[in-house]
Amino acid sequence: MGTYAGIDYGLGQSNVDRETGIRYGVISQNSVLQSWADSSEPEYGEPTCPECGGSVKDSSEVEADWNTGKDYACVECKQVFWSDRVFSDEALGYSYTGDGYKLTDCLDSDVFVLKSPYYTFAQFCSPCVPGAGNLDNPCTDGPKTYALGHDWFEDQIAPYPVYSVKTGELVKPE
């Protein structure tokens, strides 16, 4: 584990939880690939009208003679659509919320740890995610950074020390 904390390109203003002062963490999806693949859910964005691009409503919220009971209705176009027409065919991203975590994908191949019951100390990220901590580079002199627990890793052991946000105590692998 290194000691060089790196440069805080966020100048203390970005990628930090304002309530706790803990930095958001970034880790390569490859470091937790199986857990991420098993846990994350695809996001398809907000439903939009395939004709005009405007917003649509759940068809049960629209009382009109043109509403034929499909899933979504566009009040602007006065048309109704099934779900498969109002969402993107491809996932716009992936996320996971549960067990005290709030995670999302970022930079095409990383996981962004926005909330966690755990933290560690990590080197600052490059300018790509200013102010966040790079969980692939743990660092004793780095900022306190939200981290993934031991159970996210293949051998059930994180490559960095894991601390409890609640107690501040070191969490040992089970």
What is the rounded CA–CA span in Å between residue 85 and residue 25? 36
15 belongs to a structural domain: no
Greatest CA separation for the chain: 68
Count of structural domains within the chain:
2
Residue 50 within any structural domain of the chain: no
- The residue range of the domain holding 39 is 25-43+93-171
Rounded CA Rg of the chain = 21
Q: Which residues pair with 147 in a beta bridge?
A: 118
Considering the domain architecture, whether residues 71 and 138 belong to the same structural domain is answered as no
Instruction: Return the pLDDT at 64.
Output: 86
Is the residue at 49 inside a domain? Answer: no
Q: Which residues contact 34 (CB under 8 A, 6 or more apart)?
A: 154
Helix (H) or strand (E) holding 38: helix 33-39
Asked if 104 and 71 sit in the same domain, the reply is no
Asked if 153 and 35 touch (Cβ cutoff 8 Å), the reply is: yes
- What's the average pLDDT block by block, 10 residues per block, for the chain (174 residues)? 86 94 97 95 94 92 86 92 93 95 94 98 94 96 97 95 98 92
Angle at 102 between CA 139 and CA 45, to 5 degrees: 130
